[in-house]
Amino acid sequence: MDCIFCKIAKGEIKTRIVAETKKSLAFLDAFPLAPGHTLVIPKTHCAKIQDLSKEDNCDLFDLVHDVASKVDSLTGAVLLAVHNGKGAGQEIPHVHVHLVPRTEGDSAGAIHGMFAKRPAMSDSDFDKVLEKIK
């Protein structure tokens, strides 16, 4: 497998490790959006969150919880983001959580600012989507 995150997890590629557990790894992003931008990954290769075992998922998000406080201490605000699949903007098909320190005026904005086209939904539309998700 030629996955850069798997290579990082195996120690084949040098990185700046922030924290580590038996199953997960947090390290500084090599192409940060802000100083302190950290990625948290499972050491097991999975493309999407729903592909993770419950154990790997719990370990990953326990580490996200711990590291988020550390990243938050840099600016007092941190964006947590997961792109879950190529259509969601995932560039590397290995689960990863971005922890990006935020500041007022950093030009990133709120999540609703990411979408230029937003659907107009009726109550019926909401009900149909709800049923599909359930």
Query: Per-residue confidence of the chain (134 residues) as pLDDT tens digits?
Result: 689 999 999 999 999 999 999 999 999 999 999 999 999 999 999 999 999 999 999 999 999 999 999 999 999 999 999 999 999 999 999 999 999 999 998 988 888 888 888 999 999 999 999 999 99
Map out the domains of the chain with their CATH numbers.
4-133 (3.30.428.10)
Among the listed residues 37, 94, 96, 98, the single catalytic one is: 96
Cβ within 8 Å of residue 42, ≥6 positions away: 23, 24, 52, 56, 57, 59, 60, 95
Query: For position 1, what pLDDT does the model report?
Result: 67
> pTM of this prediction?
0.93
Residue in the block written with tokens 């009900």? 127
- Active-site residue, 96 included: yes
Residue in the block written with tokens 């990006």? 100
